[in-house]
Structure formats: C-alpha cells, structure tokens
Amino acid sequence: MQSFELLSKTMQKKIWEMKWDKLTPIQNKTIPIIIETNKDVILSSATASGKTEAAFLPIISLIEGNAEKQLKVLYISPLKALINNQFERIEKLCEYSSIPIHKWHGDVSQSQKNKFVKNPSGILQITPESVESLFINRTEYIRNLFKGIEFIVIDEIHSFINSERGVQLRSLLSRVEQYTIQRPRIIGLSATIDNFELVKEWVNYKDTKNVEIIETTGSEKQLQYYLMHFETGKDRRLPVELFEDIREVSRDNKTIIFCNRRCQVEVTTVFLNRLAKRDSVGETYYAHHSSIDKKEREYVEKTMVESATPKSVVATSSLELGIDIGDVDIVVQLDSTFTVSSLKQRLGRSGRKKDADQMLQLYTTEEDSLLQSLAVMELALEKWIEPATGYLAPYDILFHQLISICQETNGRGLEELVSIIKGNHIFYNMQQEKVEQIIHHMLEKDHLEKVKGSNELIVGIEGERILRSKEFYAVFMSPEVFTVLEGVKTIGTVDKGAKVEIGDSIILAGRLWEINSIDFKKNKIYVKKSVSGKPPMYSGGAGGIHNRIGEKMIEILCSNQQFDYFNDTAEYTLQDMRKAYHDYGVKPNERILWRTKHEIVFDTYTGSKNTQNLIWALRSLGLNIRGDGVGRVYIDGFNGDIAEVIRQAQEKQWVIEDLVRITQEHELFVSKFSIYLPKDIQEELHVISKINLKGLEEYLATYSFRVIDLE
C-alpha cells in the first residue's frame, strides 16, 4: 500500500469510502511517479484498468491546497460526450477536496463560461476546438486563465498523435505554456498505443528522457471470442440468418454492435428491431453515429445506462472511445475493423463488471472480410498493435494556427511571428524558409495583412472570412449536410451528396422516414414517419490497413493453421480461399498475379499506402490498373509479359516524379486547409503524406512475384 500512503488524507478517505479492495497495477505504478517526480507521464493500460483514477488521485493530492482560486488542471478530451461522462467520475473523486470541476463545450451556457473565465479554478474539461475558441474569443482572459495550470491531462491520447487534430492540439498546448507560471506536466492516457519514442517526442521534444512511460500489459480479464461467417447474396444484402444470430446473442445481454459504416448501422438497427417486435418486445436496439442528432445520441446513452432490461446499441466508432453506457456484456463486430487498435479499443468495452470476462462476437459477410478479420484478430492475440506515425507534414495546420495566433496577439511583426512558430512544440523542426513562404503567400492572398507603419501582421479580409466561419475551430474535414427534421425536432443529418428527393424513404436514427420537402436555401429536409426506407449514403470510405495486416492475411492463406473460434461456414470458406494457394504451392514471401481471360488480378497483401504506390508505379509503366480499396489490384487489357513489367518495376530507380505525374486528381492529398497553401507546398504535402518510395522499393525487393495462368 506504499502508493496509497503517498496520497493526501482526503484521497485516502475517498478510496476507503468507495470500498476499493486495492489499487490497480497501473495506479500503483503511476501514483509515485506523479507525486515524487516532475516528469510527464504516459499511461498505457487496458480499458477499465483505472487509468483516469491513476492520473487524478495523485494530481488531486498535489493541487488540493491551492485549486479553489486558480485553474490547475486542463483535461483534454476528444469528445464532448466523454467530457460529460468523466465529469461525474472526477467530481466524485474531488468530493472532500473542495476542488471545483468545470466543463467547457458547445452545450455549456454562456453565463457559466463567463463566470468561469472571470474566476478560473480547479479542473477544466475541454476539447481542442474549445481551447482554440478561448484563444480566438476570450483573448483578454487567457493570461489570467492559464497562468496557474500545473497539469494537462490528455484522455485517449492515441486518437490525437497521427491526426491533424493532434497537430492543432499540440500547437495549442505550446501556446498555453506561454502564459503559465511554470511548464505544465502532461499526463497522457491510452489503452492502445505503440511507438513510445514518437509519443515521448510529441509530449516533450526538448527532454524526452523526462517523459515516463507507465505500461501494464495484458488484462486480468479473460477474453472469450467467436467468429460466425455468413455469405451474402449477389445483391450484397445481409442474410436474415445473420440478424437472427445477432438477435439471439444480444437478446438477454447489454450489447454494443459495431459496424464500419453509418448506413450499415441504420439497416442493422431497423432489422434487429423487427426481430424484437416479432418476439413481442418493444424497441430494444438503438442507433448511434455522428450523423444522428446529439440529443438523440445522449438519449440513447442515458437509456443504455439506466434501463433495467437488456438494451443494445448499434454504433460506428462513435462509441469506441469509452463513452459510458453502463456495463456492457458483449461486443459484436460486424465485418473486420481496419486496424488492430480499433478492435482492441472496441473489445475493451465489455467485461467491466467485477469477475466478468470480455466477450467478443465477430461476424463476417464476405471472403475478404473473413480473411482480414482473422488477420486482425490473430495480431490482437499476439499483442501487436499499429505503431504511431505522427502527422508527417503539418503545413496545412500551420496555416490555420497562423490565423489563430495573429487573432490572439492582435498582430505581430514578421520576425516575431516566425520566432513564435519556430518555438512552437509541433512546428519547431519546420524549415524557416517554408514558414516564411507560407506567411508571404497568406499576405498575397489577403489571409494576412501588413499594418502600415508598424508592419505588424494581422488577420486579413480573406482570413477573417475563414476565421469567422463556425467551421474554423475544427481542423478536420466534414461534408456539407442537410439537417433532417420531423416538424421542429432534429433527427440528424444526411450528406448533400446522398441525392435524396421528395417522396424518398430513408432510415435515420434507426427509424423510417419519408421526405416531405427539401429547403435547399436553409439546407433542411423535412420528414414524416414511414413504413419502409433505405439508409442514405454517407461520405467516407474504408480505412487504410497497415502492412503487417496484409502480410498476416497471406500467412493465413498459405498455412494449415486451424482456428477453433469460428463456425463451419467460416472454415469451409477459408478452405476454399486457401485451395489455389495450396494447389500452386504459394509461399508467404510470394505475391501472385492471377491471369484470367479478361484481366490480371494482383493480390498485393501489403498496406494501403504501399498498394497505392504500387498502382502508381505500374501505371507509370503503361498498365491500365485500378484498385478495389482492399488490397486487390486489377490490370485490364494487357496481353503482354506481366512478369517482365514487374521486373522493370523491381529494377527501376524510382523517383517521386514517376508517381506524381500519373496521379489522378481524386487521388491527391487534400485536407481542410491545404487548399490555401502555395501550389508547391500543396504538392510537397501530397508527396510526404501519400508517397513512400522506400516502402515501394522494399516491397518490390522483399517478395518474389509469380504469374499463374487460370485460363
């Protein structure tokens, strides 16, 4: 109990009151590091291992004497809903310490926000976008607001590291640090993280040795898992038997049913409720995804927590990051996730009850999905996870932050502005010439403006147009949408590209609607209840996979490994998929080009980025080639020696221009703010983000390529 003794008396009292038998392993390891050192800390342990308490028990112990009149902790969350969930959890820990807890997001009233900024105190829970808003809209308060911060806690830190949102957050935290009396310590929490060296650099590039990684591997929970394969028909509709099986699994259990697409969530919810109705049960399944109205999602979350009878929710990744919906009995995954980390995050939602096992039921509906699900599951069992890579070329977020900084500071000279950027924790290694080029381009396009006399740079007219948009605060792209209403009640949104018309019937929020009218000026669709419907098509395609997943897929095909966790249909399907590989004696280090009468089918079995680079390379050699998004490449209308073309690809000294010149417009890298950059920097951003010559050359050199004629 040494860690327990380090906590303040109020924290010890709270632990006794909560009747904890003992501290968890991650808590025992973390408490001494936070209390007895000045290090930044990354906590990596399984879902429901007590990471939040591991961070806040010692933090509260350290700040409870002076947090009533100063803001001491900035708690950063990727989701507003997660803030709402964690609020009561942290408030409960602070019960005897008199530390106030505050929320700051779009649902918090202006009066509450005004009261807080005038008298900041305790712990503030906030999203990156709301921190951005503070710099833009509360400039006069931020010095007093931030000065006393001692800790910055970043929940689900893995969700930020690789994304443009993570660049924004790290820039904002660097800017916060300019106002604090002492550098705040960063405490990051994650259940799915790898490549700790990169994470340490992201947290504190100046002193990575002062970043402590605290990791507890594995879980005391047992994982029970099974895979059921159901073949879809030619119309690609999921078979009724699949829904019946999901219904049987979830009938008496609180279940999260994860789908990879929003339209699949809608179809699944409706069909499962039809089955529940057949069983003389009321609405038992709820839909949850980002295009459903926030109030509806909150109602679903509340119902899942409070319902005395088993309820289930069908969701996308909107419920992946730990939003509280009570103790979940079973996690269902419909078709493969695209990453091992995502599967690990999802299966961690179950088994939170004391002495309960984690329960995972996998379903697949196509051959490719079966193979990928097996690969992802096997890698998860091997404790492998995708390593963090970071956001490689943040020029687009630099553009965004330059506008934000100029608004915050009300103008800076060119040299001073460049100095601020070079001192920023995420832009420090960017070439000064590039920073200056972007600034000069922004001046030319009136995104920035030089004040006569002082020569200070302020936000220009075109910059104001961007800044004053409600979309400014978020750096990630989101599609244009119609808001869907039943009378005055908002149901959710549909993408403008969905091509809906008056009289169409749609599924949204797990219910059936008929479109009454469309207001194109106000971007609103009015609906009434219907008895049938189809889900609207949403933008956003399949996620990319890591090279290791592709490699694992062909290893499975070439092996005789038996899997004792799937049904007969899955076994027969896998045997059928393996047949050609076994008949032709394919080895895992081979990649096969299957020649048919009409085309050549090339199963690349590598990562998505490598596959795209391979497509560009072979296209540059004259092939009419296309990919299907799952690692399979089709070569049309080629009757020559394909083996010779592959040899040319292996022997060629590839340069970036070879791939850039044949890249089609829809294949170019585009982000929310990249369109405002100079053309040459847009091209550089594309190259860094999408082209990997080293990976291409290693792929071509590592594997032997064999052509098999199936005619």
d(CA 303, CA 91): 22
Return the pLDDT at 541: 59
Structure tokens at 580: 């050609």
Return the pLDDT at 622: 94
Return the pLDDT at 491: 95
255 exposed, middle or buried (CB, 10 Å; 0-12, 13-18, 19+)? buried
Angle at 159 between CA 679 and CA 300, to 5 degrees: 120
Q: Which of 702, 711, 710 is nearest to 591 (CA)?
A: 702
- pLDDT tens digits, 578-605: 999 999 999 999 999 999 988 999 999 9
Dihedral angle sign, alpha carbons of residues 79, 81, 82, 83? positive
Listing from the earlier edge strand, what are the strands of the sheet with 511-519?
A: 489-495, 481-486, 524-529, 511-519, 505-508
Query: Helix or strand or coil: residue 677?
Result: coil
d(CA 250, CA 285): 10
Structure tokens at 318: 């909107």
Distances 128 to 80, 116, 131, 406, 591 between C-alpha atoms, Å: 10, 18, 5, 18, 44
d(CA 380, CA 375): 9
- Is-contact 631 557, C-beta < 8 A? no
Return the pLDDT at 283: 83
Q: Which of 171, 143, 169, 174 is nearest to 70 (CA)?
A: 143
409 exposed, middle or buried (CB, 10 Å; 0-12, 13-18, 19+)? middle
d(CA 244, CA 314): 15
What radius of gyration, in Å, describes the C-alpha atoms of the chain? 27
Residue 332 dihedral angles phi and psi, to the nearest 5°: -110, 135
Q: Is 533 left (phi over 0), alpha (psi -120 to 50) or beta?
A: left
Return the pLDDT at 690: 96
Positions in the chain short of pLDDT 70: 1, 218-220, 352, 354-355, 540-542
Helix, strand, coil percent content, the chain, rounded in steps of 5 = 45, 20, 40
Return the pLDDT at 529: 94
d(CA 175, CA 165): 15
Helices (H) and strands (E) in the chain, counts: 27, 25
Structure tokens at 704: 């032997």
Return the pLDDT at 220: 61
d(CA 381, CA 556): 14
Q: Which of 184, 187, 119, 123 is nearest to 153 (CA)?
A: 187
Return the pLDDT at 1: 56
Return the pLDDT at 218: 58
d(CA 150, CA 40): 11
Q: Is 380 left (phi over 0), alpha (psi -120 to 50) or beta?
A: alpha
Distances 264 to 54, 285, 289, 394 between C-alpha atoms, Å: 37, 14, 11, 33
Q: Which of 435, 433, 527, 522 is nearest to 486 (CA)?
A: 527
Q: Which of 90, 20, 88, 87 is nearest to 354 (CA)?
A: 20
Structure tokens at 60: 């509260």
